[in-house]
């Protein structure tokens, strides 16, 4: 399971011209689910995302997590994170989870995060337009 997290001042996701998820200061989480992923990995990754210290403290050091700053999380499913790009000029998606498992774990991940913080979501398998203001820019690749 892969989470590409971006520290943002705002982010939103639109589907068909309608905003389906929107946050202010917090984290945009692009979530990729691989075929060997399970609930245990989702639990571990959710805990890591919520506690990863990427926000500045009073000394301008990255010592605070999204919960400590009263931030929000926008979770967007992104199967392309599971792509194998090692060979050729076209990605292979053989490592990606089948849609049913990916949707289940995407929903579960968002619910786990939502137990501790405000979470908004994109729409699974939809053609989404994601807008964000990356703060820093600060972007990290987390996996479990």
Which residues are known catalytic residues?
A: 78-80
Work out the burial of residue 85: count CB atoms within 10 Å of its CB; fewer than 13 is exposed, 13-18 middle, 19 or more buried: exposed
- Measured between alpha carbons, how far is 25 from 10 in angstroms, rounded to an integer? 5
Task: Yes or no: say if 15 and 57 are a contact pair by the CB < 8 Å rule.
Answer: no
- Measured between alpha carbons, how far is 68 from 63 in angstroms, rounded to an integer? 10
Q: What angle do CA 64, 68, 72 make, to 5 degrees?
A: 105
């Amino acid at each position: 399971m892969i989470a590409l997290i971006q520290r943002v001042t705002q982010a939103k996701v639109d589907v068909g011209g309608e905003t389906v998820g929107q946050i202010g200061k917090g984290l945009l989480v692009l979530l990729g689910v691989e075929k060997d992923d399970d609930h245990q990995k989702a639990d571990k990754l959710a805990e890591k995302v919520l506690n990863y210290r990427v926000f500045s403290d009073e000394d301008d050091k990255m010592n605070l997590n999204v919960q400590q700053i009263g931030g929000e999380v926008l979770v967007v499913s992104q199967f392309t994170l599971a792509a194998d790009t090692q060979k050729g000029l076209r990605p292979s998606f053989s490592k990606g989870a089948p849609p049913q498992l990916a949707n289940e774990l995407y929903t579960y991940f968002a619910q786990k995060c939502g137990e501790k913080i405000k979470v908004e979501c994109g729409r699974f398998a939809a053609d989404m337009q994601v807008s964000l203001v990356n703060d820093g820019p600060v972007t990290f690749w987390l996996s479990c």
